[in-house]
Structure 1
Amino acid sequence: MKAVRVHSYGKRPSVDEIAEPGVTGPFDVLVQVGAAGLCRTDLHIVEGQWAEKSGVQLPYVIGHENAGWVREVGSAVTNVAAGDAVILHPLVTCGLCRACRSGDDVHCENSRFPGIDCDGGMAEYLLTSARSVVKLADGLEPAAVAALADAGLTAYHAVRKAVPLLYPGTTCVVIGAGGLGHIGIQCLAAMTATRIVVVDPNEAARELATRLGAHETFANTAGLHDSAHVVLDFVGEQGAEKEGLAVTRRAGSYFVIGYGGTVDIPTIDLISTERNVVGNLVGSYNDLDELMTLAAQGRVTLHTKTYPLAAVNEAIDDLEAGRLRGRGILVP
């Protein structure tokens, strides 16, 4: 099968011909990939930012936002069958540890993360587990929802955690209306009554944010300092983290979703203002299932640009140059 593999950090991935994975375990699910989202994390992987954390052996297949059709299942699989359209939770989890039994499977003690620490889904086929597949409702196509497996899931997870803080009369500032941010805006509009203020330097992104439910948009945070009950920072680098903290009001919460930068705040400022800094990592299986309900209802939709698998480096160029509005999708 054809697959996008990283051979060396700092060098672009290549499209290789490799062996197709096969079902061997009772809970295995082999998925024919219908679409794989291109995430900024993929760029960080290529740059080597994840090398130490993942410990993955090169070369390997990247891609952690995947949807497609079940091709084959193991003997114990009962929740899906060959031919079913599915989206994949990004982690393969054990189901037995305390985190899994608590429904917090993103913190599974024995997880694998295809596309991060083992072969992922920028390929024609991906081997996963029965615990990771969410069956798609009629009318949802893999290419239309693939990026919801991570970008959407991460945005939804952050918004869901923030919902109790976003009662009517509050203000939520969203930093970045790109691949994750445009989904977070829709989740906020669907799940809260908060005033949604979006900050993005790109005019087209601000226009999209308005169409998706933002009440106000700005090119920068000037004039917004100390205004937000909640800040959702979908950038997390290049100074956005400093601005995000400045925008957060006393007793407010700064949610870090994008990454790459550094949060630097004196401890006296935290205790004197009682601001909260909240980390966010992907989301649970239940989060993804709930997000698919919003997608089936048409309340969350992805804005995408589609590329053939062989054009992966063109897609990377577009993402790096800021030419992508929404999410890049690779179709094998």
Structure 2
Amino acid sequence: MRAVRVHEYGSRPQLDTVDEPRVSGPWDVLVEIGAAGLCRTDLHILEGQWDGIQHPDLPYVLGHENAGWVREVGAAVTNVSVGDAVILHPLVTCGLCAPCRLGQDSHCESSTFPGLNVDGGMAEYMLSNARAVVKLDEGLTPRDVAALADAGLTAYHAVRKAVPLLHPGSHAVVVGAGGLGHIGIQVLAALTSARITVVDSSPSALELAQGLGAHQVVRSTSEEAVRESVADITRGGADVVFDFVGEHGTELTGPQLLRNRGHYYTIGYGGEVRLPTLDLISREINVIGNLVGTYNDLVELMTLVAQRQVSLHTRVYPLDEVQRAIDDLDSGRLVGRGILVP
């Protein structure tokens, strides 16, 4: 089968021909990939940022946002059948450790992370397990939802955690309306009655945000201008800031957009949050990290998608045009999410 593989960090991935994975265990699920999302994390993987955390053996197949059709299952699998359309939770988990028993799939002590430390889904087939597969409602196709497996799940997880903070009359500021942020805006609109202000440097991203539920938008031209605009719109600062970028300065500006006792949710990454401890104490602000999401988060998100409350803004690329897709994402030409279709 064809597969997009990392051979060395700092270099472009290659489209290789490799053996198809095989079902060998009772809980295995073999999925024919219908679509794989392209994520900024894939750029960080290629740069080598994840090597110190995940230690994958090179070469391996990229792709951690995956959806497709079940083609074979192990003897113990009962929750899906051959032919079912499914979306895959990003982690393949054990179900036995303490985090799994608490429903905290992202923190499984014995998990693998396809696309980060084992072969992922930028290929024609991928091997997963019964705990990772969510059957899609009729009317949803893998191409429609693949990027929701990570980008959508991560955005949903962050917003879902913040729902108790976003009462009527509250203000939420979304920093970045790209591949993650444009999903977060829709989830905010679906789950809360907060006023939503979106900050981005791209006019096209801000136009998209307005069409997805943003009440107001701010074009990011300078740190000072953003602070002044947000302070004026929110009358003193946001209750919650969702930073879907987390680098290039947003991680420095984001906490400054909060009112006292506000909450800075960092979802994107790559930068470094720097806050004087006196500010943390005197203003009683909170900094919250967000890692992917739970299996139940993914099920709930798929319900919103089936109800047409959340949708993806995508650009589709054939698998053999993966490098063009990467270049479009890296240069900022890609608005929304890139989808690779084998």
Aligned residue in 2 for 1:30 = 30
Q: Deviations over 1:208-239 (max 9, x none)?
A: 00000000000122312451000000000010
Q: Deviations over 1:253-286 (max 9, x none)?
A: 0000000000011111101111000000000000
Mapped contact 2:175–2:244 kept (Cα < 8 A): yes
Cα distance in structure 2, aligned partners of 1:281 and 1:211: 27
Q: Which amino acid aligns with 2:99?
A: A
Q: Which amino acid aligns with 1:208?
A: L
The yes-or-no answer on 1:304 pairing with 2:280 is no
* TM-score (norm. length: structure 1): 0.99
Mapped contact 2:170–2:239 kept (Cα < 8 A): yes
The yes-or-no answer on 1:270 pairing with 2:275 is no
Cα distance in structure 2, aligned partners of 1:272 and 1:262: 21
Cα distance in structure 2, aligned partners of 1:283 and 1:193: 22
Cα distance in structure 2, aligned partners of 1:315 and 1:239: 25
The yes-or-no answer on 1:222 pairing with 2:232 is no
User: Per the alignment, in what secondary structure is the counterpart of residue 159 of structure 1?
Assistant: helix
Cα distance in structure 1, aligned partners of 2:227 and 2:252: 13
Aligned residue in 1 for 2:212 = 212
User: Per the alignment, in what secondary structure is the counterpart of residue 227 of structure 2?
Assistant: coil
Q: Deviations over 1:41-87 (max 9, x none)?
A: 00000011111111001100010000000000000000001000000
Mapped contact 2:166–2:192 kept (Cα < 8 A): yes
Aligned residue in 1 for 2:252 = 242
* Matched length: 332
Aligned residue in 1 for 2:58 = 58
Cα distance in structure 2, aligned partners of 1:272 and 1:296: 44
User: Per the alignment, in what secondary structure is the counterpart of residue 208 of structure 1?
Assistant: helix
The yes-or-no answer on 1:327 pairing with 2:337 is yes
User: Per the alignment, in what secondary structure is the counterpart of residue 70 of structure 1?
Assistant: strand
Q: Which amino acid aligns with 2:275?
A: I
User: Per the alignment, in what secondary structure is the counterpart of residue 78 of structure 2?
Assistant: coil
Mapped contact 2:4–2:13 kept (Cα < 8 A): yes
Q: Deviations over 1:160-198 (max 9, x none)?
A: 001000000100000000000000000000000000000
Q: Which amino acid aligns with 1:264?
A: R
After TM superposition, the structure 1 = structure 2 runs for residues 156-305 of structure 1, keeping only pairs within 5 Å, are: 156-220=156-220, 221-223=226-228, 224-225=230-231, 226-305=236-315
Cα distance in structure 2, aligned partners of 1:37 and 1:72: 22
Cα distance in structure 1, aligned partners of 2:274 and 2:218: 24
Aligned residue in 1 for 2:103 = 103
- Cα deviation, residue 33, structure 1: 0.2
Aligned residue in 1 for 2:148 = 148
Q: Which amino acid aligns with 1:14?
A: Q
Mapped contact 2:27–2:77 kept (Cα < 8 A): yes
Cα distance in structure 2, aligned partners of 1:52 and 1:102: 27
Cα distance in structure 1, aligned partners of 2:331 and 2:248: 15
Q: Deviations over 1:121-169 (max 9, x none)?
A: 0000000000000000000000010000000000000000010000001
Q: Which amino acid aligns with 2:168?
A: P
Instruction: Note the residue ranges of structure 2 that are not aligned, 5 or more in a row.
Output: 221-225
Mapped contact 2:227–2:256 kept (Cα < 8 A): no
Cα distance in structure 1, aligned partners of 2:102 and 2:269: 27
After TM superposition, the structure 1 = structure 2 runs for residues 34-113 of structure 1, keeping only pairs within 5 Å, are: 34-113=34-113
Cα distance in structure 2, aligned partners of 1:222 and 1:150: 30
User: Per the alignment, in what secondary structure is the counterpart of residue 222 of structure 1?
Assistant: helix
Over the matched positions of the two proteins, sequence identity in percent amounts to: 67
Q: Which amino acid aligns with 2:322?
A: V
Cα distance in structure 2, aligned partners of 1:168 and 1:210: 20
Instruction: Note the residue ranges of structure 1 that are not aligned, 5 or more in a row.
Output: none
Q: Deviations over 1:268-327 (max 9, x none)?
A: 110111100000000000000000000000000000000000000000010011111100
* TM-score (norm. length: structure 2): 0.96
Cα RMSD over matched residues?
0.6
Cα distance in structure 2, aligned partners of 1:237 and 1:204: 20
Cα distance in structure 2, aligned partners of 1:138 and 1:260: 38
